[in-house]
Structure 1
């Protein structure tokens, strides 16, 4: 039975190379890109043979943990159908235990695992060059490969049982956005390091902690042997992880063999997009509706595009007057945070008469306020998370990164909180749905609410700005004070703004409806 399943798995892999010319060309191009990426990664790993033990520990554990996490996360959101789904074998009356073992063996025959094999060989060579015994190095990579395969099997099973009905391209987009948010800062940070010197102690500590977790324990078996010789703790964690994953996999196989999936006709939420992903609550409905608008309405899209452009335009005048490039790099990101927080200060007016749905359903104001902030958070958080490390890279002092995060958090969250109040208290006329975003109607007001949100956000963020300035011009340890002051003040203003704005929305529903009808 095992040999038959393995032959089927190999047939599936080779069958992917058959088809029309276009399909074959795409598969060939993908294979070439993968081969080039693997070759580049192997070259980078082999370059660690002459590096210090700390650098080797940091790079191998951090990168290995990221790969392990990818095996667990990708099946949950990508929507790829599992060719080794245990339910496909239900008609053969195979016991759950043997079937689970066979499917793990077949899982080793996959493209991701094939890509990891050369990397594993390079890891063994690198660790051996650092004095680690060959047996320990081979044991470490074998444990790592088994952990990845078992995590992938468990993740596929969980996705099939739980998330299959709610999986969509929107969820995949969120996953890719999350990968971008995590990957870009890591790449920027690694690119900024001078690898000929000692790795920052904080990074070494993070890598050391990962060797005590299921993500990095297997690699820690060899890496910790190279540094301090305490490899028995990672070994115990890695073995315990494999035992837990194997037991969980057997239970999931048993569950999948004894349950019947719901028929496709009963899945009534398949084409609802964001409405199928977000919670079925009033706030979730508002968030889903707002996301649809923000991604399709030109009026919203123009506002999003203008913000990074406006922030970037501040670079030219500062450079002309002779401000150093390191200082200029820290200016655009806080400006983007300020404008992103200011962005929803009049979002209620963009609904026009559609606001009647919220009012007629007696929706709580807090639900409306929270739901409208979701699109801005979904755009703003990744944008700031990607641009902040880039700014620090140009600036050159990573010690001030916490200060920049605190300042941006204070400006962004404070702006969102004050915008939640302003949009319900003082909306002003905007272009109607379907009109050009550059065609603005005559206004009798609106400048005051715009200015108050901007000035209020700056006032709320002043403590963080002050401590950030001290960190920039003096002691870098003040950066953490700026971080906590900015984070706390921003969250406090955000929560207060949502509560106050919700109350204003509920009490002024008649006034808001009259405004929508009149504009």
Structure 2
């Protein structure tokens, strides 16, 4: 059976080179690009042969941990079918334990694993020239690659069992945003460090910790030998990781072979977009509908696009006025956070007459308020997570990072809380669905201007404590940065909770007036 499965695997790999010419060209182009990237990565690793062992260890552990995490996330993010799904062999009635072993071994024959093998061999060459015995370099390569392969196998099985109906383009987009929130700030931080031939002190503890985790233990094994670290504990963690993943894979094979796959209905095949991703609750339905509007309605898109432009424009007058550039770069991000929190202050008006669904169905106010905030949070959190470390990197003082987080959290969260109240108590007329976002209706009162001003000025006023502590941190008080962070987060979360509660009560009591407003405008 092992030889037969191996032949099938090779046939599948080479089968991707067959088909229409356009398909073959895309595949070949992808393979060429991948080969070039692999060669560049191998060359970069081989250039570290003269580097200090601590630097090689840091690069190996950080890179290996990131790759291992990628092998876990890729099956969950992508919606591709697993060609080695154990259920494909169910008709042959194989032994479950034997099938699990065969598929685990054959799973090592794949393009990602071959790329990883080439990079791992390059790292092994570097460690061998640093005096590490071959047995440890080979053991590290084997443990690292087997961990990645088994982790991918297990995650593919879990995705097939539990995420089959949930995976979609929208869910992939959510995973990408989550990755951006984590990867981009870390990448900016690492790029800003001054290595100068040694590992920066900020990374020493992180590398030591990752070396004793399932993500980095296997990759850290040769480096631990070279630097005199805790060898046996690293070996135990790496071997235990492979053993646990092997047991999980065996269990997954058993579960897949004994579980009946639910057929997809026509509705499932057609796809429900965000409605297939969101929870099956009133709040989830409102969040899905809001997400659909935010990414499809031109009025929402224009509002979102104006924020980075307006934030960047604030830099020009400050530079003209002679403000030092290292201070100017700190201004646009809080400005964007303020506008992001201000965005949903009139969200009910953008619904037009569609808001009758919420009122007529008796949706609780909390479901309406929370559901409408989901799109802003999905846009705002990744945007700020990327912009904050970039701004701090340009400024040059990473000690101000907590202060910047506190200021942005206060402006963003407090703005969301005030907007949750404003959109119910003081909605004002906007362009109707399908009309130009730049075409504004005539208004007979100043309600719109007052609502906009109150939300924006209220957000600024509530952020004064965080701004004050941030100013002190900017002037050299190290402890003030941490105080600014917790003050900003605390005030922002408090205002957000109170705003959602007040807005929920107002929505339930003012349902009739909201309907009158929607019909009148």
Structure 1 position 475 matched with structure 2 position 477: yes
The Cα shift of 1:488 comes to 1.6
2:349–2:428 CA contact under 8 A, matched in 1: yes
Count how many residue pairs are aligned between Structure 1 and Structure 2. 519
The Cα shift of 1:408 comes to 0.8
Structure 1 position 374 matched with structure 2 position 374: yes
Alpha-carbon separation, structure 1, partners of 2:293 and 2:157: 34
Local SS of the residue matching 1:352: helix
Paired residue for 1:288?
288
Local SS of the residue matching 1:383: helix
2:55–2:197 CA contact under 8 A, matched in 1: no
2:54–2:199 CA contact under 8 A, matched in 1: yes
Alpha-carbon separation, structure 2, partners of 1:198 and 1:231: 22
Paired residue for 1:509?
511
Distance 1:482 1:346, change over 3 A: same
**1:263-295 alpha-carbon deviations (Å, 9 max, x no partner):** 223764851111111101111010000000001
The Cα shift of 1:197 comes to 5.0
2:366–2:501 CA contact under 8 A, matched in 1: yes
Q: 2:493 aligns with which of 466, 491, 501?
A: 491
2:341–2:414 CA contact under 8 A, matched in 1: yes
Aligned 1:234-249 pairs, distance under 5 A: 234-249=234-249
Aligned 1:102-181 pairs, distance under 5 A: 102-181=102-181
The Cα shift of 1:447 comes to 1.2
1:388–1:404 CA contact under 8 A, matched in 2: yes
Residues 344-353 or 57-66, more deviating = 57-66
The Cα shift of 1:199 comes to 3.2
Local SS of the residue matching 1:164: coil
Distance 1:493 1:53, change over 3 A: farther
2:51–2:197 CA contact under 8 A, matched in 1: no
**1:296-342 alpha-carbon deviations (Å, 9 max, x no partner):** 11000000000000000011111222222221111111100000000
Residues 400-409 or 343-352, more deviating = 400-409
2:76–2:155 CA contact under 8 A, matched in 1: yes
Paired residue for 1:5?
5
Alpha-carbon separation, structure 1, partners of 2:237 and 2:298: 52
Alpha-carbon separation, structure 1, partners of 2:82 and 2:318: 54
Alpha-carbon separation, structure 2, partners of 1:416 and 1:157: 39
The Cα shift of 1:10 comes to 0.8
Paired residue for 1:354?
354
1:325–1:394 CA contact under 8 A, matched in 2: no
Residues 315-324 or 424-433, more deviating = 315-324
| Structure 1 spans left out of the alignment, 5+ residues | none
1:49–1:129 CA contact under 8 A, matched in 2: yes
Structure 1 position 204 matched with structure 2 position 165: no
| Structure 2 spans left out of the alignment, 5+ residues | none
The Cα shift of 1:131 comes to 3.2
TM-score by structure 1 length? 0.97
**1:483-510 alpha-carbon deviations (Å, 9 max, x no partner):** 2221121111111111111111111111
Structure 1 position 438 matched with structure 2 position 438: yes
Paired residue for 1:40?
40
**1:184-231 alpha-carbon deviations (Å, 9 max, x no partner):** 222222222222154332322122111222111112222323334212
Paired residue for 1:299?
299
The Cα shift of 1:435 comes to 0.8
Paired residue for 1:518?
520
Alpha-carbon separation, structure 1, partners of 2:241 and 2:79: 26
Structure 1 position 222 matched with structure 2 position 222: yes
Alpha-carbon separation, structure 1, partners of 2:269 and 2:17: 34
Structure 1 position 91 matched with structure 2 position 91: yes
TM-score by structure 2 length? 0.97
Alpha-carbon separation, structure 1, partners of 2:498 and 2:34: 50
